[in-house]
Amino acid sequence: QKEVEQDPGPLSVPEGAIVSLNCTYSNSAFQYFMWYRQYSRKGPELLMYTYSSGNKEDGRFTAQVDKSSKYISLFIRDSQPSDSATYLCAMTVDHNDMRFGAGTRLTVKP
Amino acid sequence: GAVVSQHPSRVICKSGTSVKIECRSLDFQATTMFWYRQFPKQSLMLMATSNEGSKATYEQGVEKDKFLINHASLTLSTLTVTSAHPEDSSFYICSASPGGPTEAFFGQGTRLTVV
């Protein structure tokens, strides 16, 4: 079993849709949870990070962590074509142990 | 946000040659830099962690003699792929951290193709 599981997709939605991206993990020691966005042939950029269970909102993005279920989500409201990218979840006990999901490829169609 | 510059973005080399990839933190001092490798449709895989002035810590299964890492200063780390082979073709990404587990900034990545 992988430490971090993420459905690679691809996921295709119409513009304006609400997108839900998810990861599950097995290591209960993970404390920090991050979402990265990666455009094709570029390095990942940090979108959101959370430390505790609950929700964190930033504009159209909401990150949700449920430590009891070992499940994290990223919601994108009013999705735009420019949101088309690969979204990677990542988590860490401390930064030396960061583990990434496989990434979900998202396409938002105009 | 902080900027991490990685160079080159693409490189094609012949089998048996060595390739050096640079990772620079442009506006902060990176106490720790990380090197990842990414295969298509797979997750980022940590190759090694380097701290300025000390030897890199390699992940299990990563050949330290093949992937030489030098963290010469607080703003520069280099990854040298020695005696490259076609199976080394991949996307290599560095990240740099000024400190703290959530402060990780990534470079643009380097697409290495070994022919």
- From the list A43, A49, A99, the residue facing B109 with the nearest CB is A43
Query: Span B36-52, mean pLDDT?
Result: 82
Tell me the torsion sign for CA atoms B49, B54, B58, B62: positive
Q: Express each pLDDT in A39-79 by its tens digit.
A: 876 778 889 988 878 899 999 999 999 999 999 999 999 99
What pLDDT score was predicted for residue B1? 56
**Which of A20-34, A51-65, B18-32, B43-57 has the lowest average pLDDT?**
B43-57
Tell me the nearest-neighbour CA distance from B82 into chain A, angstroms.
23
* Residue type at position A98: M
CA distance B16 to B114: 9
Least confident segment among A40-54, B5-19, B69-83: A40-54
For residue A97, what pLDDT band results from cuts at 50, 70 and 90?
Answer: low
Chain A nearest-CA distance from B55, in A, is 15
* CB contact (8 A) between residue A95 and residue B4: no
Radius of gyration for the alpha carbons in chain A, expressed in angstroms and rounded: 13
| Cβ-based contacts of A34 with chain B (< 8 Å) | 102, 104
CB contact under 8 Å between A42 and B105, yes or no, is: no
Chain B residue at shortest CA distance from A5: B43
Where b means 16+ CB within 10 Å and e means fewer, A55-72 reads eeeeeebbbbbeeeebeb
CB B100 to CB A44 under 8 A? no
Which chain B residues have a beta carbon less than 8 Å from that of A89? none
Output the CA–CA distances (angstroms, integers) from residue B6 to A42, A76, A80, in the order listed: 10, 29, 29
- CB contacts < 8 A, A to B, total 63
